[in-house]
Amino acid sequence: MSKAKPKAKPPRRRPGAPTKCTLRRCRVIARQIKRGASLTIACGAAGITDRTLENWEKWAGQGKAPYNGFFRALKRAIQNAIRQAEQKVFAGTPGWQGAARWLQAMQSQRWGHWIGHEPPPPVTPPTQIHVNVDLGRQLTSRMAQLSELPPAPGLRGLPPVGEETL
What's the pLDDT at 1?
55
**pTM (two decimals):** 0.53
What pLDDT, in 10s, does the model give residues 9-67?
665 666 777 888 888 888 898 888 878 788 888 899 999 998 998 898 898 889 888 88
Gap between the Cα atoms of 70 and 47, Å rounded: 15
Q: How confident is the model at residue 149 (pLDDT cuts 50, 70, 90)?
A: low
Domain extents for the chain? 23-111
What's the rounded mean pLDDT across residues 105-116?
A: 67
**For residue 78, pLDDT beyond 50:** yes
